[in-house]
Amino acid sequence: MSAFALAQAAASSLNRGARAHARAERAAYGRTARQSASILIIHHDAAVIRELQGALEASGHSVQSLQSGRNLLRETAHLDISLVLLGEPGDRPALQMLAWLRARMQGAMPVVFLAEPERRADMIAALSEGADDALTLPVQLDELAVRIQAQLRRAYPESAQCPTCIEWGAYRIDLIERRIALKGNDIELTPREFDLARLLFMHIDRIVPRNTLIDQVWGIHDPCTSHSLSSHIYRVKHKLELASNHGLILRTFYSLGYRLEKVPTPAAATRTRAIDGATASSTWFPNHVS
């Protein structure tokens, strides 16, 4: 074999090794530090939304979507989101909506701009106007997932470490041993019941869509699965004794999903009122993820 052929073979081997190393790093990152978030997709094309939503929900994110800027203006007060994927709303310029988002919504919230294929110049304009990242449609879904994780780590560094245990009030969820204890007593759960409880506790005070729960726990969608989800949620609620006396209630949003909500315990509310009626809104809820 010639020296040139040997050099080519060595380079090819190095490239294969580098690609394998990169794949291993991405896999390890996904196992150890993936953050789940509530993501809003804004785009006029329902097919684009479906593709992005399916990929994001499969990664554990909860997803909401809007197809017009008018809907965004109307729904802002009701949105609870961590990151926005902003494409063309259809009824007004995306760059105008970017300026509006930056002026009206939480400053630290990342915005990833999705430029139309024929309008790559919009990417530069969006970055100049305050977008945190920009991509051209159609996006590579694996690249989008990595970019979203980078933005979440940057914006929410306190959540960047994948938790091994969640503690909230009297509840302790061990994600490694897959056990949940209430006041130190283990609660007997089936594997699916544990997975549902884990997802709800990881998104306290946020709606977890039914589709996300089904994708993460069952992996298939059919009428039987939908009924099974409702039955499992009922059992989780009663086994974990999710009620105001433990500081958490499970609220159902029919056809949408479920939300684990923080509420004042009777004892905490009594203590707060006893101190000063004016401090009633400052009841402390222990909330710790380790």
152-198 residue pLDDT tens: 888 876 555 556 788 888 899 998 889 999 999 999 999 999 999 99
285 — pLDDT class (breaks 50, 70, 90)? very low
Packing angle, helices 46-58 and 210-217, rounded to 10: 50
pLDDT of 72 higher than 90: no
199 Cβ contact list (under 8 Å, min separation 6) = 208, 212, 213, 216, 217
196 Cβ contact list (under 8 Å, min separation 6) = 213, 217, 229, 232, 233, 236
Beta strand 83-86 pairing with 62-66: unpaired
Q: Is the peptide bond before 223 cis (omega within 30 degrees of 0)?
A: no
* Mean pLDDT, all residues of the chain: 77
If one compares 266 and 152, the residue with the highest pLDDT of the two is 152
Distance CA 200, CA 193 (A): 11
Q: And the tokens for 147?
A: 């970019």
Q: What is the pLDDT of residues 59-70, one digit of tens each?
A: 778 888 899 888
Residue pair 57/63 in contact (Cβ under 8 Å)? The answer is yes
What was the pLDDT predicted at 158?
58
Q: And the tokens for 173?
A: 């969820």
Contacts 24+ apart (CB under 8 A), 56-59: 56/145, 56/148, 57/209, 57/211, 57/212, 57/215, 58/215, 59/34, 59/145
**Chain centre distance of CA 16:** 33
Distance CA 100, CA 91 (A): 14
- CA nearest to 260, candidates 247, 269, 271, 270: 247
| Alpha helices, H only, 33-160 | 46-58, 69-75, 94-104, 121-128, 141-155
Element spanning 250, H or E: strand 248-253
Percentage of the chain modeled with pLDDT above 90: 33
Distance CA 287, CA 289 (A): 7
Average pLDDT over residues 196-220: 87
All structural domains of the chain, each given as residue ranges with its CATH number in brackets, are 36-159 (3.40.50.2300), 165-282 (1.10.10.10)
